[in-house]
Amino acid sequence: MIVRTCFFGLITTGLLAQAPETWVRQTDLSTGQVYDTPITGTGGIYTSPLPVNEIGSLYELFARGTAWDTNIYLLDTKIISSYNPSATIRITSEDEYVRGNPEGTTFVKRTRADRPFSINIQVQGLIEASSSTAERFVYLAVQGKNYDTVTYSSLNQPQYLIDESNLENGTYTFDSAYHQLSSPAISSGNGEQSFTIVRYAADEVPDTILAQPKIEVWPVATASIAQITAGQVFTDRIPSVVISLQHLYPDSRTYAQIYKGAQVLGSTGTIINGTELRYGRHYNPDQVEASTNVPQSLSISVEDLSNYTLKDGLYTLEVITHTPFFGRTAERLYHITFEVDRVITSRSQINTNEASSSPAP
């Protein structure tokens, strides 16, 4: 780093108009090398001829006395250390997915809107005792950007500031952090948060980004089933139903299952044919590339529920999803319980037939 600084005391007074002879002595504190630079005029900005290392250099301003005074006077001293700030950010999520080099500065992680993540920031190379903001701090900006709710795209979406602060040398850890996107509810968060660390402009170097990783935040999946109501009794063939799925996580396995009896969380039922959906490399290990990097929304029509309800009684229809969260255990998105009672229809038919076959009085 080349240092430009201003020494006070360059202007001296005397009985004669003769200007004093002045110079700056730079002493490299790591090697002991000494370099003298003559100063002309009455003072101003001084540019160091030698680079300054991390240990620093001692600058001494000397002046020779005027006229009959031949003494050498030390007018001012400064110790200046080179500062080369560095910053690293690590983001940890339950989802191990990452784009880019996680040891670098611009990687992308992801999480689900209702799940926490942690942030670890390490800052080094600043001069703690400096009175200069640029030498003592780096700037941290936490920014958000909401994605399009249909395409999940960030294109042309505005960015907004969530938080900002100055950081000194040290380690900053934020455990169990949740997204701070401007969503109606925490579970509907849909966008990205970026963490930007900037070196302040100094030494003719403009503001410089040191690190800028991001974490994508995807909404919590939801499901609904149409054409059937809770407690409904079917005495004949069950009509087709429509399963609507919203925001399925890009690393997920989702399906509809049915089992006999009232709903019991954690039950294992029979998977309805044609309803199983797999996204992401974990659930598609044979694919060269992941099937998607964004959530998926779609509807599935089920025509053959009667084939899964051959015996009369209560049945529960559920939509289940597995994701990287909670150790990939099953999470229930939706359930509905209905009844099948074909005996009512059979008895009604028998009674009708008996009545019609009875002899007339």
310-322 per-position pLDDT tens digit = 999 999 999 999 9
Name the domain boundary from 21, 54, 80.
80
Question: Are residues 251 and 315 part of one domain?
Answer: yes
pLDDT of residue 2: 43
| β-bridge mates for residue 161, sequence order | 143
Tell me the per-residue pLDDT of 107-162, one tens digit each, with 9 for 90 and over: 999 999 999 999 999 999 998 888 889 989 999 999 999 999 999 999 999 999 99
- With 80 as the cut, is the pLDDT of residue 14 above it? no
For residue 334, CA distances in Å to 110, 191, 331 come to 25, 25, 9
Could you say which DSSP state residue 349 is in?
Answer: H
17, part of any domain = yes
What CATH number has the domain bearing residue 264? Answer: 2.60.40
Whole-number mean pLDDT of the chain? Answer: 87
Domains contained in the chain, number: 3
Tell me the per-residue pLDDT of 267-325, one tens digit each, with 9 for 90 and over: 999 999 999 999 999 999 988 776 789 999 999 999 999 999 999 999 999 999 999 99
Question: Are residues 140 and 210 part of one domain?
Answer: yes
212, part of any domain = yes
Burial class (CB in 10 A: 0-12, 13-18, 19+), 288: exposed
Domain enclosing residue 37, as ranges: 4-80
Other C-beta atoms lying within 10 Å of the C-beta of residue 163: 12
Question: Are residues 155 and 251 part of one domain?
Answer: no
Tokens 């063939």 correspond to 237
Distance CA 157, CA 249 (A): 21
pLDDT of residue 64: 84
Closest CA to 2 of 79, 94, 64, 80: 80
Q: Phi and psi for 282 in degrees, rounded to 5? A: -60, -40
**How much is the average pLDDT of 57-69?**
82
319, part of any domain = yes
Tell me the per-residue pLDDT of 179-236, one tens digit each, with 9 for 90 and over: 999 999 999 999 999 999 999 988 667 898 999 999 999 999 999 999 999 999 999 9
293, part of any domain = yes
359, part of any domain = no
Tokens 């006070």 correspond to 8
Name the domain boundary from 183, 218, 253.
218
Burial class (CB in 10 A: 0-12, 13-18, 19+), 199: buried
Question: Are residues 235 and 116 part of one domain?
Answer: no
Q: What is the pTM of this model?
A: 0.77
pLDDT of residue 78: 79
pLDDT of residue 19: 45
Name the domain boundary from 80, 102, 135.
80
Question: Are residues 281 and 175 part of one domain?
Answer: no
Question: Are residues 329 and 271 part of one domain?
Answer: yes
**Residue 48 half-sphere exposure toward CB, CA atoms < 13 A:** 24
358, part of any domain = no
Question: Are residues 229 and 214 part of one domain?
Answer: no
Contact assessment for residue 25 and residue 76, using Cβ atoms and an 8 Å cutoff: no
346 SS3 class:
helix
Question: Are residues 177 and 60 part of one domain?
Answer: no
352, part of any domain = no
Question: Are residues 337 and 234 part of one domain?
Answer: yes
Question: Are residues 242 and 153 part of one domain?
Answer: no
Confidence grade of residue 54 (pLDDT, cut at 50, 70, 90): low
Sign of CA dihedral 328, 329, 335, 341: positive
Question: Are residues 143 and 236 part of one domain?
Answer: no
Question: Are residues 192 and 298 part of one domain?
Answer: no
327, part of any domain = yes
- With 90 as the cut, is the pLDDT of residue 177 above it? yes
